[in-house]
A and B are shown apart, each in its own frame.
Chain A
């Protein structure tokens, strides 16, 4: 008797499983086009994002291209040790974090404010014109942005220094003075990116139910009240998501941009992890060392994203995953 029940009870799940399997198959079949559509994206991530992670191995080796990953010698943490004992390491890390802080505390709110302001512009015509004007800088490469500012602020006939002299001030050496590096950096970032950054905010503002505003107006709320009590709460989720994503790219400050601004006179504040990887690693073919630095950078990024995500969930927001 017992045997029979045992058999039955094992047969039951099997049946269920097979039914489940069929169910799954059916569901997959029903949504087949979705899966087909997902495939290229999935492949992209596997080929270009996950497979290259295999390359991280070389940060624990003395990698020689001709020996390949399989043939190079294992050296354990040697390259990480070299990085951490590098006399400039702390300074480079500090510079990276400071620039990151500027990005978060100065740059990050600006697109939000801009989006709110653009939203208040009545009249679609002006709104579109302003929007386009704000987008345009994003399409210029960093090389162009940096050259434009070079021409403007150089001491050899730059318009800003000429103006300073005209108004009776001393010339300022913007390009070579370490204390001007950070302001120049963040101003250029804002100039190039702020307009572009408004896109998502504007889209999410557009999705707000106009009825809410009408109701608020009926209750006698002014423009500012409406922004404060309707617009900002409505886009709060978007702000937090973008904030977490921004944190994720914590140490990606734009190699090209910083490298172009970097020179011998401002290196003490301008050298960041990315530029250091370039000078110390790639220019000299030290792949293992460069990879170790890049690895270190990614780990910090990952930790930060997970922390912020957790905090945002604790605060009752959605987070990115």
Chain B
């Protein structure tokens, strides 16, 4: 009985879906009556604003007022409905909207991870492929091909990306301490170690108490210090080629060298002892309270906020940034992100036909003009920012920006090189230095070869498996396991699905 009703249900479902696809096919393939009707209608009201619904994550606590939106609508001739949802629970919102078929025409994801999770649905044809249309739009076609390539799914482009500098990582350090101890910025990993040692042992704050440490790190292998230092040691970014095959980074000897480096630092007391349990907040606090001298990893652009909080505690502190640290072989290297921190997708369930898709893409094309992207990224000139030396200087009223602009800021397509928006006007020397270093970083940048590749096993349990390696890495650095113990964990990783991931990535790599 149960079986019977189930098969009936299935049959009903099937009929329904066939009907639906038929309808869909109709809309697309038959350009007869309805399409012409649509065209004439469009011709008649071509000045009427396009109505667009946009769903996106919100990184502030309040929904922004319509100040920016109103300007945006005027500039782009649209009628926009922004649906902001808190970033903390955005994944849930995304999934439930998806499950109920209520995704709006423009759907922002949250980050790379949500994008990977969405890949299944993309392959299933739930979203519009936009690749073929890009060339019709002068501004959208400026988007960087290498980054677009990283966002492709099975070689096809479905999304626009929100750009981020490729490699922002480096060191933020106490220049005043270094000057006092006659140290230059570390040129290689040995000098980095020496600096951590000197900052710990030579009383750089001059209070005659041994109360300072060198490096402060936190419980995060990727955005903490580990991965950045690891790339200086020459470890590949995520995956590297060995004997003509892609292998995960932790099978490379340089990875072990990096672990040894941190083990030595910790054993000697040159870094915070509890780094495996230290949150970002606590790590930052150790730096801004004047207790630690080297903040590694993260973004060098964070120097602004670190500096601001540090001089509250240590008024005469000087900070600087640095990222050119050579490995033991004398070579520079820096790992790079895939160049985007979020993407936008266009669900087929909300966009009926090509004409509508093009109208929406036209809106994004306008978003990539300097005028519109400045409005969204910086706000209204004279209210939220002023222009100095051709760069944007945000107003002192940080709260105003947070409230009115931040919500839109995170949704700007492309980056200033492609959309022509203002670069930030910086006054802090360390920050200006950081901006120069970002460009240097890219020159020696190491991409992750698996970024555009696909592995079903990785999508299914990559995160869970990575936990094995993360735990083993910390245990090694804390001296709880030795090299043999670490290798045993790598075997464990392989046995529980890692082998399959290697296999799948290599298969995709060779294509």
Contacts and interface: CB of A to CB of B under 8 A. Distances in A.
Contacts of B462: 284
Interface string A244-285: 000000000000000000011101000000000001101111
Interface string B454-490: 0000011111100100110111001010000000000
A64 interface: yes
B65 to A, nearest CB: 29
B474 A284 contact: no
Interface in B196-251: 211, 213, 219
B13 interface: yes
A175 B467 CA distance: 19
B286 A156 contact: yes
A284 B496 contact: no
B99 interface: yes
B115 to A, nearest CB: 11
A192 B103 CA distance: 41
Interface string A19-38: 00000000000000000000
Interface in B274-321: 274, 276-279, 281-282, 286, 291
A155 interface: yes
A263 B219 contact: yes
A265 B273 contact: no
B95 interface: yes
Contacts of A151: 282
A204 interface: no
Interface string B141-154: 00000000000000
A114 interface: no
B48 interface: no
B13 to A, nearest CB: 6
Contacts of B100: 68
A272 to B, nearest CB: 14
A304 to B, nearest CB: 28
A111 to B, nearest CB: 30
B99 A68 contact: yes
Contacts of A150: 277, 279, 282
Contacts of B478: 176, 265
A283 B279 CA distance: 19
B261 interface: no
A280 B468 CA distance: 12
B286 A175 contact: no
Interface string A91-120: 000000000000000000000000000000
A286 B91 CA distance: 12
B273 A64 contact: no
B117 A66 contact: no
A70 interface: yes
Contacts of A233: none
Contacts of B475: 264-265
A183 interface: no
B193 interface: no
Nearest to B462: A284
Contacts of B291: 156-157
A156 B121 CA distance: 47
B501 to A, nearest CB: 13
B274 A283 contact: no
A267 B460 contact: no
A283 B463 contact: yes
B82 interface: no
Contacts of B467: 267, 279
A197 to B, nearest CB: 28
A284 B464 contact: yes
B117 A284 contact: yes
Interface residues of B, number: 45
Contacts of A87: 496
Interface string B83-120: 00000000100011011110000000000010001001
A154 interface: yes
Contacts of A76: none
Contact of B277 (A176, A280, A282): A176
A163 to B, nearest CB: 16
B124 interface: yes
Contacts of B474: 263-265
Given A156-B213, A156-B286, A176-B277, A64 B120 contact: yes
A155 B274 contact: yes
A87 to B, nearest CB: 7
A267 B470 CA distance: 11
B9 interface: yes
Contacts of A70: 9, 13
A284 B463 contact: yes
B124 A265 contact: no
A267 B219 CA distance: 13
Contacts of A286: 460-461
A13 interface: no
B121 A265 contact: no
A284 B112 CA distance: 12
A318 B282 CA distance: 50
B18 to A, nearest CB: 13
Given A71-B13, A156-B273, A284-B461, A66 B126 contact: yes
B226 to A, nearest CB: 12
Interface string A279-303: 1101111110000000000000000
Interface string A173-208: 101100000000000000000000000000000000
A147 B274 CA distance: 13
Interface string B488-506: 0000000010000000000
A65 interface: yes
A264 B276 contact: yes
**Which one of B211, B213, B279, B291 has the highest number of Cβ atoms from chain A below 10 Å of its Cβ?**
B279
Interface string B1-26: 00000000100010001000000000
Interface in B27-55: none
Contacts of A284: 117, 459-464
A282 B219 CA distance: 20
B461 A280 contact: yes
B272 A156 contact: yes
Given A66-B121, A284-B463, A284-B464, A265 B213 contact: no
B470 A264 contact: yes
Given A156-B273, A156-B286, 8 more contacts: A64-B121, A154-B273, A156-B213, A156-B291, A175-B274, A265-B471, A284-B460, A285-B117
Q: Which 8 A-B pairs have the closest CB atoms?
A: A264-B474, A285-B117, A175-B277, A155-B273, A264-B471, A65-B99, A65-B98, A280-B464
Interface of A: 64-66, 68-71, 87, 147, 150-151, 154-157, 173, 175-176, 263-265, 267, 279-280, 282-287
